[in-house]
Amino acid sequence: MSAPSAPADHRSGPSGGQPRLDATDRRRGVAAGRVLAAGAFGLVLAIALNAQQLLREASQKPFGPERDSSVAVWAPVESASSAVGLHLPRLWADEALGRTVTDPAGTQSASDGATAGAPASADPDPDPEATGGIVLAETGADDEASAAPTTSPRTATAPGTDPEPAPAAAPTPDNPLRLAVIGDSMVRFFGDTMVSLADQTGVIDAKTEHQLSSGLTRPDFYDWPTRIVEVMAADDPDAVVLMYGGNDAQALVVDGQTARPFSDAWVGEYSARVGHMMDLVTTDPDRILIWVGQPIMRDPDFDRKMVELNQIYAAEAGARERVRYVDTRDLFRGPDGGFSRYVIDEAGQRADVRLTDGVHLSTIGGQWLSQLLLDRLGEMADLSPSAES
């Protein structure tokens, strides 16, 4: 190894010497006040041209004081910007790139996060079908799919006691079972692995899709019901794996009122949305759905919320014949029964199954979950590689 001696990326600079502002800097420099004026003007211009996007991002924050103050700041800026047409260049640029505010973008890739929804409002603004005080999110789905369940999730059949879904017809390599693995960022960390493992069976043709930071509480950020209808229509999968929840422990709007997470109104609305998603998938009577519960989480408060969500998922799944709820908490319990990144595998070795954030799954964790889900799928449909048509 030797000293770096070549000129650096952008400056024939101080290699070897003291990196200090020097005579060259003095010659090229300008007064701090002028820098401030140029920088401030640049920021103001950028804000004016980008006000719609800033307001959209503000409105998509979780309901609460931070969102309210952000919206209060950006709403008048956006109004002023739009009034004089300063929002148009950004709009034209977005359109030139194939992005529009009504495009449920981000479906193409993991981090292409252009979002859907009206920029001036974070309210899901549902076209409600009031059912016993429950307001359903607008989905754009057909009438049959939009039909609202009225079953209280707290009184629904317990998981495991529901009738076993009828096995689907045995798939073959020429006529594989079409599988869709869909959800939020959790799916990012096991979806591709599951597709890969499914491919290895030779009788499953799997696809995966995820949207970071999404869920069922904020259709203004990402409208999953609409997207799920599109996927069902386009791909007509035989089996679907859904996983949501990590971003859902936040307030949502019911009847124009913000409902606190896990209040009665919140639970009623969220349960209805979960049930609605299940119904949208299982409108085809030959399609089966696996709903994946949230694994045990490191943060105790967050984990408690996920437990409550899991109860909702289990209850809604239990009320439907072709939906199977899969609990994942036991799979990822540490040696002491609580959360751990390192879980003992069958060989007695410690496996690193979680990412450092204490939420998402590592590659190994993704493999474990994928295998569990394929096993459950195998209980619902004949996945024997030797199956012939």
Partner 1 sequence: MLFPTFVFGAFFSVVFVVNWLTRPHPTLWKPLMLAASIVFYGWWSWRFVFLLLATVVINWVVGHYAAAGLRESGPATMGSDQGRRWWVGLGVAANLTILGVFKYWDFFAVEMSNLLESFGISGALPVLEYTLPVGISFYTFQAMSYIIDIGRGHIREMAPLDFAVYLSFFPQLVAGPIVRAAEMAPQLAARPDPRYVPAAEAFGLILNGLFKKVVISSFLASEIVDGVFADPSAHSGLEVALAVYAYAVQIYADFSGYTDIAIGVALLLGFRFPQNFDNPYRAITLQDFWRRWHMTLSRWLRDYLYVPLGGNRRGRAATYRNLMLVMLLGGLWHGSTWNFVIWGGIHGVVLAVERLLREHRERTGMSPLLPPGIGETVRWLVTFHVVCLAWVFFRSESLSAAMEMLGALANFGSYAGTATPLVIAVTFGALAFQFMPSDWFEQLRDGFAGLGWASQGAVVGLSLVAIDVLGPTGVAPFIYFQF
Tell the smallest beta-carbon distance from residue 283 to partner 1 (Å): 29
Are the beta carbons of 106 and 115 closer than 8 angstroms? yes
Distance of CA 382 to the CA centre of its chain: 30
Give just the sign of the alpha carbon dihedral 153, 159, 164, 169. positive
Beta carbon nearer to partner 1, 58 or 278: 58
Nearest CB to partner 1, comparing residues 2 and 389: 2
Shortest Cβ distance from residue 347 to partner 1 (Å)? Answer: 8
Distances (CA, A) of 108 to 51, 205, 209: 25, 19, 8
Both tokens of residue 278?
């299940």
Cα torsion angle, 197, 203, 205, 209, sign: negative
* Residue 183 CA neighbour count, 13 Å, CB half: 27
Shortest Cβ distance from residue 182 to partner 1 (Å)? 16
Rounded to 5 degrees, φ, ψ at 106 are 90, -5
Spatial separation of the C-alpha atoms in residues 143 and 358, rounded to whole Å: 40
| Interaxial angle between packed helices 32-49 and 65-83, expressed in degrees from 0 to 180 and rounded to the nearest 10 | 90
Minimum Å distance from CB 373 to partner 1? 16
Q: Which is nearer to partner 1, 283 or 363 (CB)?
A: 363
CB of 73 to partner 1, least distance (A): 10
CB of 363 to partner 1, least distance (A): 4
Burial of 241 per CB tally in 10 Å (0-12, 13-18, 19+): buried
Residue 50 or 310 having the CB closest to partner 1: 50
Q: Minimum distance from CB of 380 to partner 1 (Å)?
A: 24
Q: State the minimum distance, in angstroms, from the CB of residue 62 to partner 1.
A: 14
Closer CB to partner 1, residue 98 or residue 160? Answer: 98
- Of residues 195 and 314, the one with the C-beta less far from partner 1: 195
> CA triplet 291, 297, 303: central angle to 5 degrees?
85
Given the complex with partner 1, which of 270 and 332 has the nearer CB atom? Answer: 332
Q: Where are the alpha helices (DSSP H) in 107-255?
A: 143-146, 185-188, 191-201, 224-235
For partner 1, give the closer residue by CB, 102 or 257: 102
Q: Which is nearer to partner 1, 5 or 389 (CB)?
A: 5
Provide, rounded to whole angstroms, the least separation between the CB of residue 88 and partner 1: 12
Report whether 55 contacts 75 (CB < 8 A): yes
* Cα gap 179→377, rounded to integer Å: 10
DSSP 94-136: HHHTT--TTS-TTSSSSS-----S-TT--S-------BTTB-P
Q: With the CA atoms of 228, 268, 162 and 244 taken in that order, what torsion angle do they form, in degrees rounded to the nearest 10?
A: 40
Tell me the residue type at 207: K
